[in-house]
A = this chain, B = another copy of it.
Amino acid sequence: MSEFGASGGRLHVHYRLSPGPGESAERKLEDIAWEQTVEVPRELPSAAVRQSVVGRVESLRATGDGRWDGVVSYSPDLVHGDVGGLVNLLLGNLSMGTGVRVEAVDWPTETLSWFSGPNLGIAGLRRMADASRRPLLCGVAKPLGLETAELARLCGEFARGGADFVKDDHSLADQPTAPFEDRVRRCLDAVGEANARTGGRCRYFPHLPADPATLEHRLDLLDELGVEGVLVLPLVCGLGTVRHVATSRRLAVLGHPAFTGWMLGAEHGIAPGLLFGEIFRLAGCDAVIFANPGGRFGWSLADADDIVRRARRPLGPARPAFPVPAGGVAAESVPEWVTRYGLDTMLVIGGSLLCRDDLAAATAELVAVLEDSAVQSGH
């Protein structure tokens, strides 16, 4: 696997195989090469199709624990510029099998060139926040069920405390308690007023329920209101929609991990670092939210470290994205996580701050901790 995110010619996919009883690793890898491309009996394709379309088994070796590392390469022409096509080649029918985990991809320059990636990335979000060194902080307007006025008040408090961003909880859509348009207007106003008072630069990022029936209308509204970023659920709305949002508007895009969990099995699925750090990023996410270990979900430290590393690694023209630990990060544990993940991290902290009596003061304390972490790291 190239660390530089490009492999020149063919698209190499690295699989970790866990063959079942009586299953041959050789056959399993060959089956993948056929299933992800031609999906027909072996005798059917012409020599030309076999040569140019069927995946090519490049290598296979036992790893000593009953598993195998295998590599299959594919023609980049199979994808041809469509993010849905990329998802389908890497993961479509494969999802329906067992014991195959997609670990890594060596991306051909040609494939990378089709996906421009984030509009802003780490550097751009830092410019937006006017924070060149420290980890960034994103508050959360929640819970679902609060009236718009109360959500707006929380946004204002996060802004007053100096959070860089405040986002909607991902469950906020267009419910009667806080309908989309009214919520966006009032949360934006509340953050703007707080910024005017403090001289701060907090940005409000609404959740964009990216349904085609309302998408363009909502994007136009966000444009008109001057909203600079959104939260999206890439696997709910589809990665193609994420790419459309990122390329058709100059928005910052925060990708949320809802609906991804099933894919992240140890034996069957995709390495979280590849999904969040590379595929979400190629589709246009400037920041990728993941479930932090020790929070409400059981993701491993190794997976978290891999997401962090891959979100920032060079990947053709795609800018590095912020890794964003979330899902029950306690404010008091922040220094520990910053030490682990490094300064180019954005923290999403909701419940832990919202439980404090004075939200703005609690936020300001946390921002001071983040400032300290940058000073202490000697940057």
Contact = CB atoms under 8 A, between A and B. Distances in A.
Interface of A: 31, 35-41, 43-45, 48-49, 52-54, 77-78, 80-85, 87-89, 91-98, 142-146, 169-171, 173-177, 209-215, 233, 235-241, 243-244, 247-248, 257-265, 268-269, 291, 296-299, 327, 350-352, 354-355
20 contacts: A31-B296, A37-B145, A38-B142, A39-B351, A40-B143, A40-B354, A41-B351, A45-B143, A84-B209, A88-B170, A92-B259, A93-B258, A95-B258, A97-B261, A97-B298, A211-B243, A212-B212, A236-B239, A238-B238, A262-B269
Q: Is the contact region of chain A dominated by helix, strand, or loop, or is it mixed?
A: loop
Contact of A85 (B84, B176, B209, B239): B209
B80 A175 contact: yes
Contacts of A98: 298
Contacts of A248: 213
B212 A241 contact: yes
B236 A237 contact: no
B260 A96 contact: yes
Contact of A83 (B38, B211, B327): B211
Given A88-B171, A354-B44, A95 B260 contact: yes
B171 A49 contact: no
| Number of copies of this protein chain within its complex | 2
A35 to B, nearest CB: 7
A269 B95 CA distance: 13
Contacts of A142: 38-40
A79 to B, nearest CB: 8
A187 to B, nearest CB: 18
A53 B92 contact: no
A44 B355 contact: yes
Contacts of A235: 235
Given A96-B264, A262-B269, 7 more contacts: A36-B171, A44-B351, A45-B143, A45-B145, A54-B145, A80-B174, A88-B170
B82 A209 contact: yes
A264 B296 CA distance: 22
Given A209-B84, A209-B85, A212-B215, A240 B240 contact: no
Contacts of A54: 145
A27 to B, nearest CB: 12
A259 B173 contact: no
A46 B80 CA distance: 51
A240 B212 contact: yes
A233 to B, nearest CB: 7
A259 B95 contact: yes
B38 A291 contact: no
A211 B233 contact: no
A43 B143 contact: no
Contacts of A95: 258-262
B38 A143 contact: yes
A173 B236 contact: no
B52 A145 contact: yes
Closest 4 CB pairs of A and B: A238-B238, A53-B145, A95-B261, A96-B261
